[in-house]
Structure formats: structure tokens, C-alpha cells
Amino acid sequence: MKKKLLCTCMAAAMAVSSFGCLTMTAAAEEEPVTLTVLAGQSTTDAGIEDMIDEALAEAYPNITLEWECVDWGNDFQPKMQQYMQSGLPDIMIGKAQDVATYAPQGILAEIGSEYLDAGLDAARENVTIDGKTYGLVYNALYQGVYYNKAMFEENGWEIPTTQDELQAIIDDCNEKGITPFASHMVDTWSIGNVTMQFMMNDVFNNDPTWGDKFRAGEVSFSDSEEAQTAYNYNKLIYDNTYEDTFSLEQTDCDARMVLGEAAMKVSGSWSIQNFLDIDENFDFGIFPFPNQTGDSKLIFEPNITIMTSASTEHQDAVNKVLEVLTTNKDLAVEIYDYTKTASMLKDVTPTFANPSQEDIDKYAADGMIVDVTLGNNQLVWGGFQEENAKDIAAWLQGDATFEDALAASDGRVDASSAG
């Protein structure tokens, strides 16, 4: 009797578990094509999948996207590693620097020029390898020093273009009891991020192939004055930021800045959402962190980048998705407004209020803009920049010497490139 009961239970349990699978296959049969999509997202991107689904359903109701949204920083690379063992999803959404990581493995397909032509030329360069473009760059982030406009006006501070000018503002801040820089070094990624910003303007600006030379053994962190300058700016920030920066999280850090406790923050567009969440009237601008030569450029980072599998069985459907993404301008604007990012499509402009847009336009008009993918491709994030940031943190905390940090970065030369 008992046994029978158990058997029934067991069967029921199995039925339940297979029921889940059955409904899935049934759905797939109704629709002619289901494409798998791996999306490596930042939190600010989460939610765009629904917008894309909706637009796609209108244009091509026969195509269904099976989404797999993961955190780009933590999970995108592990997932890609897994899929390289088992076969890639049809579409992958990552960052521009992923192209340099995965395209050399021969697993990405070229993107058709009809889709690429809808995008800005500026985005293409760093996702192109040997003349073939493997990524469609959809939007971009800007990185630099965000500053409190009202505070700058009140105190009569001008936008600094040299280190001396910046130092003057810092001194004035300290005198007036204002924290010069907001920062949240508890997030090691933020240290890595600002270090690359510094490297872009003090190292890559003068020597666009510094990373390749580093691998060739021609330059090193221990010998390069410029690289050391870039590392040293971290100290400048650390000496002029909140005392509890190693315990302070981004949201609290941004909140304090909005409330007027700090004047500037070296950051990127992802902070905009935070700023406006706390106070929709907060007025801020952006300028590039001044370098030694006084010719810093504002940094832009191609963000959402669409890649496709070289071995997909549904190339037509994949192309239709690309078509929707590149031609549906309402969708594009919706996504840019939602993520508070800049457009990388021709003739599409987001409509959200971005107080820093004025500054961005100014730098763009002067040609003072540089794509950080240049640096990220030569010195990769995972395994190199990310690890260096940990050494920098240890140095700032006094657990390692500056020389240790430099030597550790040099010792990691083999991990500096994905190839």
C-alpha cells in the first residue's frame, strides 16, 4: 500500500518536472524560429529585453527570443566559456571589448554591412579585426569627471584642463570643507575603471600601441613614467575623498554628491541614473580628468554590442533581429532613454534630460573624444585590469608599496591580452 502511494508520488513528481519541458517544446513548435540570446548586462540595462521582444513581435511575430540575461561583470565570461564547449547561442550581447576576446577564436560571425551602415563610424574601428566587423555597437557611455555645476558656479571654479588647475580646486574644496572627490573604492571595479581613464589620457593618448609594446617587452609599468602617473592619480583621489570610501557603496556615494557633500566624481554614464533618482533637478556636467599635458579627451565607451554566432542555424532570423534593432528608431530611443546612454545609431537622439549633454556635445564638436576600447583591447579587463585594481587598492591601504603594485602589473603581462 505504502509502496503504491510512493510510486504514485514519484510518478506525479516526474510528471510535474517533465510538464515544464513539454510546455516549452510546445511553444517552440507554434513559432517557426526561436533564437537563443545571451545578454551580459549591467544593472542599468536590465529590462531592455522586454522592449526588444515587443518591437520584434510587431515586426516578425514568428521569431521568438529565448533570453538569458546575466551580469556582464561576473557572469558573461563564464557563460561564454561554457558555451564555447557546447555551442554558442545565436546572439550574444556584450561590450565592445568582448569582440577582441572572442572573435580570434573564430566563433563570431561577421555583421552584414547593411546593418553596420546604420551605426556611427566611430563605433566600428575597435570591433573590427583584419577588416571584418564582428560587433554591432548599439549605445555608448561617457566617462570622465562628473561635477556639481551649481557648486562650481558658486565658488567660481572653471573647468580644469591641467593638473595645476585641478589641484587649485581641490585645495579650495579642502579649505571650504567640501570633499573634492566622491568615490566608492569598496567596489574594486571602480578603481580599475578610473585607472583606465587615467591611462587613456596620460599613456594611450601619446602612444596608442602602449599595450602591444608592453607585451613585446619594450615598456613596463615599473619603467614608464606615464603609467606611474596614471596609477598615482588614484592616490590623489584617495587623499581627497570620503574617509570611508572603502566601505562606501556607489548609491550612497552618489547620494552624498547630490546632497552637496562632494564636488566631483570620476565615473561614467551609469551614475546619471543614480543622480537623477535622488534628485531629478540635480545639475551636473562632465569633463575629462586632466592629464600632465593638458590635452585630455573625454572618454566614450561603446557599450551594448551585439555579436552573432558563426555557426547559427537561423542566420535569416538573426539578420531580421539586427534589422529591427538598427531600423526601429522608436525602440532605440526607448532603450537610450531607459539606460540613460548615448546613441550609436545615425540620426537617433535620446530624449531624456541629461544635464551633461551640453558638455559632451562641446567635446564632440572639438574632436576631443576617445574610444576607451583602444585601451581595453590592448590591456583586457578580466585577469589584468581587474587584478591590477586589487593591487592598487592594497597599495592605497598601505598593505603594499607602490613598487609592489607596479611589479605585480608587470608580472601579469601574459594575462594582459585575450589572444
Rounded to a whole number of angstroms, the minimum distance from the CB of residue 101 to other proteins is 9
CB of 282 to other proteins, least distance (A): 12
Residue 187: count other Cβ atoms within 10 Å of its Cβ: 19
Residue environment code for 264-296, b if the CB has 16+ CB neighbours within 10 A, otherwise e: bbbbbbbbbbbbbeeeeebebbbbbbbbeeeeb
Choice between 355 and 383, CB closer to other proteins: 383
C-alpha distances in angstroms, 296 versus 121, 284, 341? 22, 19, 22
Cβ(144)–Cβ(298) under 8 Å? yes
The per-type count for the chain, helices as H runs and strands as E runs, is 18, 14
Q: Measured from the CB atom, is 116 or 380 closer to other proteins?
A: 380
Nearest 5°: the CA angle 237, 417, 298 is 40
- Return the bridge partners of 268, or none: 143
CB of 294 to other proteins, least distance (A): 31
Task: Report the distance separating Cα 220 and Cα 216, nearest Å.
Answer: 10
**Which one, 169 or 405, has the nearer CB to other proteins?**
405
Choose between 115 and 384: whose C-beta lies nearer to other proteins.
384
Contact 297, 205 (CB under 8 A): yes
Choose between 325 and 389: whose C-beta lies nearer to other proteins. Answer: 389
Q: How far is the CB of 256 from other proteins (least distance, A)?
A: 9
| Residue 410 CB, nearest approach to other proteins (Å) | 14
CB of residue 43 to other proteins, shortest distance in Å: 5
Pair 395, 401: CB distance under 8 Å:
yes
Please list the alpha-helical segments (H only) found in 148-269.
149-154, 163-176, 188-199, 210-216, 225-239, 250-258
As beta bridge partners, residue 241 has 181
CB nearer other proteins, residue 21 or residue 365: 21
Q: Least distance (Å) from other proteins to the CB of residue 166? A: 26
By beta-carbon proximity to other proteins, the closer residue of 33 and 258 is 258
d(CA 109, CA 310): 4
CB of 330 to other proteins, least distance (A): 22
Q: Which among 69, 64, 34, 76 has a CA at the least distance from the CA of 48? A: 69
The closest alpha carbon to 231, from 208, 206, 202, 204, belongs to: 202
Side-chain-side CA neighbours of 205 within 13 Å: the count stands at: 25
CB of 10 to other proteins, least distance (A): 7
Q: 193 or 291, CB closer to other proteins?
A: 193
CB of 112 to other proteins, least distance (A): 26
Judged by CB, which is closer to other proteins: 101, or 328?
101
Nearer to other proteins, 324 or 393 (CB): 393
Residue type, 278: I
- For the chain, the first-to-last Cα distance in angstroms comes to 64
